[in-house]
Amino acid sequence: LSLQTESSSERDQPVKALLFGTTLGDYVKFYPDFSKVKNSITVCAWLRKQLDGGRRSWLTYWTSTHKYEILISDAGSFNYIHDNSLNLASSVTVPLNTWTHQCNTWTSSSGAHKIYYNGTLVGSTTVSSAQLEEGGYILLGHDAGSPGESEVFGGQMMRLNIFGKELSASQIAELYRSGRCSAEAERKHQEVNFIAWESILSQAKTGNVREVDSGCPVPTEEPTEEATEEAEECQCPDLPHSMWDVLSDETYLNQTLTAEKLTELKAAWDVLDHFVGVPITEGIIGHLKMFHPKAGAPCTTES
């Protein structure tokens, strides 16, 4: 089974999360094509831990040679490649009911296995540089190697993507900073995103596993060709550039959006009214670009 990257129509859909039940009978199992990720791999996901315990495993890749070709838990205990584990439970703190970004990378060129939490490298080791074995299955929801109730994930998962390269520390930090509701940073790596979240959502779900609202806003529709032409024709001498470009300027970036700044920007946007009191970070700008592209057009209404 080859799981391709998202199509343009899929990008317009609201992002869903998977909520897993709390028993060994609640899981998602499928057979991915590992031919394009066997030499280098990055596994990233947003996880919402909902059960106590440090051994709650959310992904296993099981093969005929290694029952833990890959195994990842939600609080640092299990980070396996080729049956070799790196325990980082003492290096991370994962609070309950909070979204956490996790990434594990490995490459056959060096055998380096690295683990990131919330965009920060928390540990690394060197394991075998042999290729990852093809033909195995991925199981989401618990440890498939030695299943026990203490290793049931029982939380929420979203934006699980498996890339066919070792993403760098800066690239992983960018994925984290862009936030769980934005796909902008992910799309920079779409040519190597061989097992994508939208395709994983389409896999059969066993037991109590269901799609739930992720809490992310529904993306707005892309501007029509007619609207784009109108925007190009319109002239706004006081604000000739995209508002998102203006917000990225050092005058506003990393500053808190106040009512005064809103007036200063000469923008009567309902969307910005909701962000008064919020620091203007690159992540916030990326969110606005993705979900409110029309609001950032050069032409605005003066207040």
Radius of gyration of the chain (CA): 21
Buried b (16+ CB within 10 A) or exposed e, 90-124: eebebeeeebbbbbbbbbbeebbbbbbbbbeebbe
233 Cβ neighbours under 8 A, 6+ residues apart: none
| Position 63 pLDDT exceeds 70 | yes
Q: Which two tokens stand for residue 297?
A: 């057009």
Distance, first Cα to last Cα, the chain: 54
What span, in angstroms and rounded, lies between the C-alpha atoms of 177 and 299? 29
Residue 164's identity, in one-letter code, is G
How large is the average pLDDT for residues 64-83?
Answer: 95
Strand 57-62 to 70-73 pairing: antiparallel
Query: Looking at per-residue confidence, does 19 or 276 come out higher?
Result: 19
Q: pTM value? A: 0.70
231 Cβ neighbours under 8 A, 6+ residues apart: 223, 297, 298, 299
| Position 286 pLDDT exceeds 70 | no
What span, in angstroms and rounded, lies between the C-alpha atoms of 85 and 42? 16
pLDDT in tens, 201-257: 999 999 999 999 998 887 655 555 555 554 444 444 343 345 555 566 666 666 666
User: Which residue reads 């892309």 in tokens?
Assistant: 222
Q: Give the CA angle between residues 239, 244, 247 to the nearest 5°.
A: 85
pLDDT in tens, 135-175: 999 999 999 987 889 999 999 999 999 999 999 999 999 99
